[in-house]
Amino acid sequence: MFKHLVFIWFLCGFAYNVSAEEMSLEDTIAEVNDSVVSIVVDSIDKQALGAGIIVSKDGYVVTNAHVAENADKISVITTEDEQYSARLVGLDAKTDIALLKVDDSLYFKPASFADSDLVRTGNSVFAIGNPFGLGNSVSLGIISAKERDIEKGPYDNFIQTDTAINQGNSGGPLFNTDGEVVGMNTAIFSMNGNNMGVGFSTPSNIVQWVVQELKNKGKVERGWIGIGVKKIRIDGTEQKNSLVVSTMSENSPAEKGGIKVGDILLKVGDMELSNPRLFSLQISQTEPNTELPVTVLRDNKSLELSVKVILKPEEKFMKKEATESGEPESAYRHKFGTEIKALAMTVDFDETNQDVIVESVEEQSEAAEKGIRAGDRFKTLNGHKIFGLEDLLVKIKEASAKGQVILQFIGDDGFDTVTLNLKDSR
């Protein structure tokens, strides 16, 4: 569907003295322009250009992860052509967000952020970025759509806009006409890499949450309860404010809390239950150890349950690997797949086909010797269907006592089954 989608891997609040109603658009743009900076990232073999949003006076700047990743040197350039050296605080590949810190800035003018949940289709917006390295440039448009899934990651929830966004705009802000950030420009739909009137921005609420996680912890910790959900349709009519539990991980918080596959969720804390993707996003942004009151409909009876959110197993797994290998955790946060050391491979989960796709396999490993190759797809582990990366990690951990797993997968020659010894207890 999105084969022509070009993600821009570029060369790669403050208080108003005058109310927003009294300010012209030109005055609003002049007021917020200094809160946008140009980003230049130098690495061994390339230079990436992007934009960034100043989020605090003491030098924190947010941009896209694909702009800042693999950097040897990061430079932040203000509208006054002042150039500062910046360091990477942390990045989150799943939302394509990176947080930078300029330590020697005398004064930065931060942007103010709006509640992106209140943005409506048709609202006027403007973008400021660094297209083609020209420096701060402004373009005007409207919100074309909300809650777009562009198959970029598991938490897609993009704002679509017809505001001109080109190479160099990545990481820059999308403002409403009050001069508040409603999104961070991240990707475009294009045949040639240039603007065609379809751009995508990460909502400001997601940006703010990730920034706080990176600022406070250096990484993003996501909540997890271990279920997959789908919309409910009766006689072709979509039922509002309820979702059905379609899959569940074994020994998950949901299972321990009494939820069953087939239950209809009527209430989960204060969460919206209208969109499966947004439900997963809300769960991921819930602090681990939070107890969620849950109401389900089962056999036409309403049941009151409670589920305790835990740290997503994938996050635990990656943290443990980083500690025991002696490598910094940032080395894992730079990866877009998930490294499974116990199986000597890197994998990702294909939400569309609901299976695990192998991204790479270590040479001379048992997996490679038994014919597993990049592009192969896992269907079952120890006879059980795999419902996601977190479920795969849980199943591997449960199999550690036996020291091996049986994988059924689809390769170039069709279905095959192999037994692999786990490299360690993880």
Active-site residue, 365 included: no
Q: Which of 168, 172, 186, 171 is nearest to 132 (CA)?
A: 168
Task: State the Cα–Cα distance between residues 34 and 27, nearest whole angstrom.
Answer: 12
From 366, 424, 363, select the one nearest 396 (Cα to Cα). 424
Q: At what angle do helices 389-399 and 313-325 cross, to 10 degrees?
A: 60
DSSP 270-314: T---S-HHHHHHHHHTSPTT-EEEEEEEETTEEEEEEEE-EE-HH
Number of H helices, E strands in the chain: 9, 28
Provide the 3-class DSSP secondary structure of residue 21: helix
| Catalytic residue of the set 96, 156, 355, 376 | 96
Known catalytic residue at 66: yes
Please answer whether residues 90 and 219 qualify as being in contact, where contact means their C-beta atoms are separated by less than 8 angstroms.
yes
Catalytic residue among 35, 116, 170, 252: 170
Q: Does the annotation mark 334 as catalytic?
A: no
Sign of CA dihedral 169, 171, 280, 238: negative
Q: Which of 141, 161, 158, 140 is nearest to 149 (CA)?
A: 158
| Residue 324 to residue 165: CA distance in whole angstroms | 43
Q: Catalytic residue, from 35, 38, 66, 355: name it.
A: 66
Active site residues: 66, 96, 170
